[in-house]
Each structure stands twice: as structure tokens, then as C-alpha cells.
Amino acid sequence: MIKNIKKGLAIITMLTVCGAMAQQDPQYTQYMYNTMTVNSAYAGSLGHLTITGLLRTQWVGMEGAPDTQSFSLDTPIAKNLGLGISIVNEEIGPTEEQYLDANFSYTIQSSQTHKLSFGVKGGGRVLNIDWSKGSYRDPDAQFRENIINKFLPVVGAGLYWHGERDYIGLSVPNFMTRERYTYDDIGEDLVNERIHVYLIGGIVFDLSAHTKFKPAVLVKYVSGAPIIADFSANFMFNNAFTLGAAYRTSDSVSALAGIQISPMFMVGYSYDYTTTQLNNYNSGTHEIVLRFELVNRKKGLKSPRFF
């Protein structure tokens, strides 16, 4: 038992370091309900105030595994203009990081059925690292000095083409590629920030009068790391209940469920089962999303409510 625990801790420590080397941003299974965190052009696209909260607990039972909370608010603020605020808190091993971003979008009517939104974002991250949580015996020099409230600026942009039944988007959430840890922090350079490129897309099909089907995909590219693709397939019944499944390449398979409790309030849940050897050391990943929409009574709620 102790041997297995030590193996698990060794694996999570290795993954934490590798995650820092690749500079992987937080990942979400229910990305279709949390789009603004990866694409600033999404801000205000629903046409009304939307508030989204998401809780993600990854690799339950493994000490030091990622734990993420996000909160976002977006709304149209003028004709063709949207505003969004995104706050994320993430803990991985000895690191704690907070993100605060402001997103702005400008939308044009590209055809009778579709709009094209241009987005920009600006903000920053505050990084804290307590090496005592991950290194307890004869640590290397670079792991002896903690990092406290290190500020990292964020500048990003995105494109989002969308209609009532489909969407596709391309984005770079952060163009800044500065060094992550400098000599002043821990004695020597370790890694650089890496640019993340996201491609998202989805489409809705009517299978019957009461059933809709939406396949969706999110592809993430990070320099120096393998391409990661999320494929999902969701069914909506009576515009209220959602059931689906997802697959993340070389990582996990997932089950998704959601309920539109009222025209204004939706709750979603997903469970990820790890398909790598890490499944020997954890009992899966849980994610809960809550979305509140301040719907205009005259316009109603955009249907279907998949994105």
C-alpha cells in the first residue's frame, strides 16, 4: 500500500513538473459551456448577461492533483460589442495560480444566418509556489526559494463564427512568451511561457421533434507538447435534459449530463475516467458547471442551449 502511494506521488510530481515545462493552461471537459476561457470573441455572443461557474477536481485521491475553479461573466454592452470577465483559480502540487482577464468582442453580420466575432483579452496571472509541498529532502537549488505573488501579463485574441445551430472558433489566449521562472526567483531559468492555440467547433442536428444531437470538438496545440483533442457527443431531450460522452486523446473518456432547471438556470456534470496508467492511483475527475442567463422575455432563450 505504501509502495503504491509513493508511486502515485512520484507520478504526480513528474506530471506537475512536465505541466510546468509545457505550460498547459487549465483544461475543461465541459468546454462548450465555458468557451470564453479559451476564446475572447465569445464574450456577449448569447445576446444577454450570462454568468458561469465551474468546479473541477482532477484525479481524485491523488495528492497534489489539479484543482480548478473558474467564474466568468459576459454580456453585450452596445451594438456589436461584448464584454466578459474571467477569473480562474488553480492549484497543482506546490503551485497556486490566479487568472483575471477582461475580454472584449466586436461582432459583424457575415451572412443572413451567421455572425463573425473578433475578440481581444488582457489581464494577468499571479503565481505562488511553495516548494516545501513538493520537495522535502535535499532539493535542487532551483527548488529552494519560494515564489510569492509573481505577476505574469496576459494578452490574447480570438475569432468566433457562429449561428443558431453551429459555431467554429480559433484563438490564442495568451501571446506572451516570457520566461516563467527567472534567475531572481529560483537561481536559474527553467521554462518559457508557451503559446496555446485552440480550435473549437460544434453543430446541432434535429433527430426528432424532441431530440437534438450536437457533436463538438476542441483541439489544443502547444509548442513542444503533443496535440490534444477533445471530442464530445451530446443529446438534448425536450430542450431540458442533456446526456453525452467525450474522449480526450491519450488521456480520458467522460460521461456528461445536464439539466435546464429553468429558462435562466442550467446545471451540468461530467466524470472523467483516466485511460492512462494514472488510473491506478486515482478514482477519476469530477466537474460541475452552473450557468445563469438573464434572459430578455421578448427575445427568449436561444435554442438549442448547447453553447
Query: What pLDDT digit, counting tens, does each position of 117-142 carry?
Result: 999 999 999 999 887 776 555 555 55
| Helix intervals (H) in the chain | 2-22, 183-186
Between CA 67 and CA 97 the distance in angstroms is 11
CB of 171 closer than 8 Å to CB of 40: yes
pLDDT digits 0-9 by tens, 52-104: 999 999 999 888 889 999 999 999 999 899 999 999 999 988 889 999 999 99
Q: Residue 306 falls within a domain, yes or no?
A: no
Q: Angle at CA 23, nearest 5°, toward 91 and 117?
A: 100
Classify residue 307: in a domain, yes or no: no
Residue 305 placed within a domain:
no
Number of domains in the chain: 1
Report the alpha-carbon distance of residue 91 to residue 110 in Å, rounded: 41
All cell numbers assigned to 137? 529532502
Instruction: Write out the three cell numbers for 93.
Output: 502540487
Question: What was the pLDDT predicted at 30?
Answer: 94
Structural domain harbouring 70:
2-294
CB neighbourhood size of 136 (10 A) = 8
> Does some domain include residue 251?
yes
Q: What's the gap between Cα 186 and its chain centre?
A: 29
Distance CA 48, CA 66 (A): 32
CATH code where residue 259 lies: 2.40.160.40
Q: Is residue 304 part of a domain?
A: no
Q: Within a domain: residue 302? A: no
Q: Which three cell numbers stand for residue 245?
A: 460522452
How far is the C-alpha of 213 from the C-alpha of 166, rounded, in Å?
Answer: 12
- Would residue 300 count as lying in a domain? no
User: CA 59, 65, 69: angle at the middle one, nearest 5?
Assistant: 90
Residue in the block written with cell 509545457: 22
Q: What is the percentage of the chain residues whose pLDDT exceeds 70? A: 80
pLDDT above 80: residue 273: yes
**For residue 84, is it within any domain?**
yes
